[in-house]
Amino acid sequence: MRNPIFLLFLFLTFIISSCNKDDETDTTGYAEGNVLELSTTIGLAEVLITVFDADTNEPIETLETDADGNFTLELNEGSYYLRLNKQGYQDIPPLSMSPLPFEITVGATESLEYEMLAIEGSNNGWISGTVKEGGNAIAGALVTVVSGETAFSAYSNESGEFSIFNVEAGSYQADAWIKGYASTSINVTVTSNTESTDNNISMQSGSAGVFNGTIRNLSTSNKDVDIALVHPITMQAIPGLNTFSSGQSFEISNVPSGTFIARATFENDSRVMDPDRIAKFGETEVTFNDDVVELTFDITNTVEVNTITNTSDDLTPVEINTTTPTFEWTAYSSTSDYVIEVSDMNGNVVWGGFGATADELPTKNVIIPSSQLSVKYNSDGSASLAALEAGKTYRWRVFASKDDKNSDTGWTLISASEDQRGIFKVVE
């Protein structure tokens, strides 16, 4: 016969264990994905993946695909996006394109698929090294190698290590960027088909620059928005150099010395930076040398997308069952015409958008008259994909254009839909 004290102990242990299990609250979800070579659909191994918080643009994790091109992420509930890099393949997304975000829900699994395009005839080299302060690794720093107006970049991982792929042969200046730290520049020489190793960048804490100013809402009610400083060539956000205005005022402290582009209102908030000012004067550059820089951002209402789109507070792609969808939006005041743009999850424009003349003036690829507030995908037959592909995620945007005799192009953009709206997935 068992000892009654022992039985009581087992019973209490079971009760305590059950209570502890009930008290545990799952706070994470999952993303499972694979990366394929576009031409062969074969899984790509050792693709470097950097995971970003979509709300702050800060890198939070790095990993590589397995031998079959697969990867798995366990993440807290929230919005994220990925950047993918591999030697011999085009980056996803290209630096000129905004990445498509995805949503992680507690207990759920998000499926992701990416296709990388091989760079034909590439004989570029690549760069590796570390970012440290003394002997301590600096994780999440943006590392750039720059020559004139050409730049390549990557982010340091948890060990401070970085790899920059597909770098053209030549001489570069390498720096690292992150809030609160100054970088000591180093010179890097890249040779074709060769890895340049041991490029170790030293950082020192104590950056004292301050970026502050106000938000001016044009022809609309006052609203507070997100603010960020980005690299002037790669257009990537500098980790930590972001904030949210309060009472239409903002401040970012501990800015390292250097020149950045100042941006506002990336989030879904019914506002965009005034495209007219950007078209006439370009994006605003700000230079710091441990001093204070002040700026006023002009923002305006967005072009509101109606169908097909995710909601403002949910980045989950809306599912559709047609490969030639119709896009609809709300009329925007003073518009002469609209420009449509559809891009895939890799950031490649598959229909519409903008091109350039021989003189490098921007051109509008698909022009829609102001009286028309909807358009069917590939209605003019100019899309690179005759029909969108089932199982793939896409994003569409619409831009409001106004005739302008004072512009070299004869027009300027006066508004646009938001970066993180118009996200949809074509299902079987």
Note the pLDDT of residue 3.
52
Residues 372 and 419 in one domain: yes
The residue-averaged pLDDT of 260-278 equals 86
Say which residue, 412 or 258, is predicted with more confidence.
258
- 112/370 Cα distance (integer angstroms): 36
Residues 35 and 74 in one domain: yes
Note the pLDDT of residue 7.
42
Residues 94 and 174 in one domain: no
**239-257 CB burial, b ≥16 within 10 A, e <16:** bbbbbebeebebebbbbbe
Residue 178: which CATH number? Answer: 2.60.40.10
Confidence of residue 26 (pLDDT cuts 50, 70, 90): confident
Note the pLDDT of residue 27.
87
Residues 34 and 111 in one domain: yes
| Least-confidence region, from 7-21, 46-60, 219-233, 291-305 | 7-21
Segment 133-189, tens digit of pLDDT: 999 999 999 999 999 999 999 999 999 999 999 999 999 999 999 999 999 999 999
Segment 402-424, tens digit of pLDDT: 999 988 899 989 899 998 899 99
Residues 6+ positions from 183 with CB-CB distance below 8 Å:
175, 176, 177, 201, 202, 203, 256
Confidence of residue 16 (pLDDT cuts 50, 70, 90): very low
The residue-averaged pLDDT of 29-51 equals 94
Instruction: Answer whether residue 19 is part of any domain.
Output: no
Instruction: Answer whether residue 12 is part of any domain.
Output: no
Instruction: Answer whether residue 268 is part of any domain.
Output: yes
Segment 194-238, tens digit of pLDDT: 999 999 999 999 999 999 999 999 888 999 999 999 999 988 889
Instruction: Answer whether residue 390 is part of any domain.
Output: yes
Say how many domains are in the chain. Answer: 4
Residues 409 and 316 in one domain: yes
**109-146 CB burial, b ≥16 within 10 A, e <16:** ebebebbbeebeebebbbbbbbbbeeeeebbbbbbbbb
Note the pLDDT of residue 11.
44
The residue-averaged pLDDT of 356-363 equals 82
CB 274 within 8 A of CB 426: no
Instruction: Answer whether residue 14 is part of any domain.
Output: no
Say which residue, 249 or 344, is predicted with more confidence.
249
Cα–Cα separations (whole angstroms), residue 35 to 32, 99, 181, 349: 11, 15, 34, 19
65 phi and psi, to 5 degrees? -70, 155
Domain of 79 in residue numbering reads as 28-116
CB 144 within 8 A of CB 234: yes
Q: Does residue 15 surpass a pLDDT of 80?
A: no
Instruction: Answer whether residue 262 is part of any domain.
Output: yes
Where among 116, 141, 172 does a domain terminate? 116
Note the pLDDT of residue 420.
82
Question: pTM of the full predicted structure?
Answer: 0.76
The residue-averaged pLDDT of 370-394 equals 95
Say which residue, 335 or 121, is predicted with more confidence.
335
Instruction: Answer whether residue 6 is part of any domain.
Output: no
Residues 243 and 279 in one domain: yes
Instruction: Answer whether residue 18 is part of any domain.
Output: no
Q: Does residue 23 surpass a pLDDT of 60?
A: no
Where among 116, 133, 161 does a domain terminate? 116
Q: Does residue 268 surpass a pLDDT of 50?
A: yes
Where among 205, 232, 263 does a domain terminate? 205
Note the pLDDT of residue 18.
47
Query: Encoding tokens for residue 340?
Result: 């449509």
Cα–Cα separations (whole angstroms), residue 145 to 67, 142, 151, 185: 29, 10, 6, 10
- 390/368 Cα distance (integer angstroms): 26
Confidence of residue 356 (pLDDT cuts 50, 70, 90): confident
Confidence of residue 13 (pLDDT cuts 50, 70, 90): very low
Residues 343 and 410 in one domain: yes
Residues 223 and 277 in one domain: yes
Residues 6+ positions from 211 with CB-CB distance below 8 Å:
227, 229, 241, 250, 251, 252, 255, 262, 286, 288, 292, 293, 295
